[in-house]
Amino acid sequence: MTSTVQAAARTGAPAPPPPARGPHAETVARALLGVIAAGAGAVLWLWWQDTASIVGAAQWVTNGGRLFGLLAGYTAPVLVLLMARIPLLDRTLGSDRLARWHATGGRYMVGLVLTHVLLIVWGYSLTDRTGLVHQTTELVFHYPDLLKGTIGTLLLFTVGAVSARAARRRMRYETWYHLHLLTYLAIFLTFFHQLSNGAEFVRDPSARALWYGLYLGTGALILWFRFLVPVRDMYRHRLRVAEVRTEAPGVVSVFVIGDYLDELAARTRSGQFFRWRFLTPGLGWSANPYSLSAPPGGGYLRITVKEQGGHSGALARLRPGTRVLAEGPYGAFTADRRRSPKVLLLAGGVGITPLRALFETIPAAPGGLTLVYRASSAEDLVFGAELESIAAARGARLRFLLGPRSEVGEPLQARALLALLPDLREHDVYLCGPEGLVRTAREALDTAGVPARRIHHESFEL
């Protein structure tokens, strides 16, 4: 293993031909949003055709509650589908973009559910001429499936609270991940009261069948892409740890080998990531996202991780032979995104990992590829020798920006980048690093006049 890896690093494999382009990301985005909007329009039509004339405040309030409830019921499977890891969506739009849409939609859904609950209770209390507390008790304990629906709603609000950015930053990724799985239970519990109490479904068997189809179809896609495919791949490839190697202080690479890895490499692009589950005590219950730090192929997969928490720190203690379940590949941070013959790769810290793989493989003519790597010191550089070897083999430019910010200032400024690359505006820029560095670099690139469509970034910090 060691000799194979070192030989690949010394020679720097020639760049492969560009992969065939799939659908453009913006085309897929517009199509997907159009389908979602059409579905929302169908929900509005369902409410409209089942609603007779509305007379009086009680009916207006109650029907408003019905409409918000229908929209919330439609939004739930849509949000789940966005995170179903459907290959077409994931590899064109990118996991982080889908996650942002999911997070934004989640906030809207919480608002829809809250408004639905308030309007229904208020509307029924106006109709029955009772107090809000009495009406709430009556609905929860005497209407079909509403007790389950209430529990599901409370779970949904809990998930929404822990998913807020401020709350999520205060907890471990593994804790947030497992709490977020309560969303499935919340949707399951709230589904039945929609059919039991929704006038649209009680009176119209075809509407009920369509609603079942929407939810069961969503469940089938989740079961296939998020559970059955990873398990199938686990038994097919039988991945296991071959070696753990220290790359820099607090940074290790994990080499993974297995069966039929050529098949896995054939559907994987440099820049993509997997969700890794190491089947050893303390690590087997969570699947954490780590990018490949070397091009797929060569008989192994490599990830490189900086110790930033319990899971990442434990990887340094993995034993050879540990079984691995890798879900993926995921992400659109690949050569498919580039539109210009010139490319700038801009890395900070351990953000070098996906860019190291791209540096070796992204198609570019000699002189058309540049890697700028920001690190606090020379000892914090990861893959320094490998990067220099690849740069020499490909005729690429390599620039290390070293030194603490307190001494060297902020090197990622528009003026400095333009001094390095006067034609920076003609480059596609791939950007990966800590959140602060990414924000600073984006501002510098914007000031330098690089179009936003040419700046490519994919983040797990969502």
Taking only the tens place, the pLDDT of each residue in 48-104 is 888 877 878 998 999 999 999 999 999 999 999 998 989 889 888 888 889 889 989
- Is the pLDDT reported for residue 223 higher than 60? yes
Q: Give the span between the Cα atoms of 153 and 163, in whole angstroms.
A: 15
Q: What would the two tokens of residue 323 be?
A: 């079984």
| Nearest by Cα to 411 from 346, 355, 342 | 346
- pLDDT at site 14: 41
328: left (phi over 0), alpha (psi -120 to 50) or beta: left
- Is the pLDDT reported for residue 405 higher than 80? no
Please report, as a single letter, which amino acid is at residue 11. T
- pLDDT at site 392: 95
Half-sphere exposure of residue 54: CA atoms within 13 angstroms, side-chain side: 15
- CA 251, chain centre distance (Å): 23
Torsions phi, psi of 22, nearest 5? -90, -165
Tokens 């194979």 found at: 4
Calculate what percentage of the chain has a pLDDT beyond 70: 91
DSSP sequence for 425-444: GGEEEEEES-HHHHHHHHHH
Q: Give the span between the Cα atoms of 102 and 459, in whole angstroms.
A: 14
| Nearest by Cα to 415 from 443, 385, 451 | 443
**C-alpha angle 237/242/246, rounded to 5°?**
135
Q: What would the two tokens of residue 243 be?
A: 């070696």
| Nearest by Cα to 357 from 366, 368, 347 | 347
- pLDDT at site 31: 93
| Strand, helix or coil for residue 118 | helix
Q: Are 333 and 94 in contact (CB under 8 A)?
A: yes
pTM: 0.81
Q: Are 306 and 251 in contact (CB under 8 A)?
A: yes
Please report, as a single letter, which amino acid is at residue 309. G
- pLDDT at site 168: 67
- pLDDT at site 462: 47
Q: Rounded to a whole number, what is the distance in angstroms from the first to the last CA of the chain?
A: 35
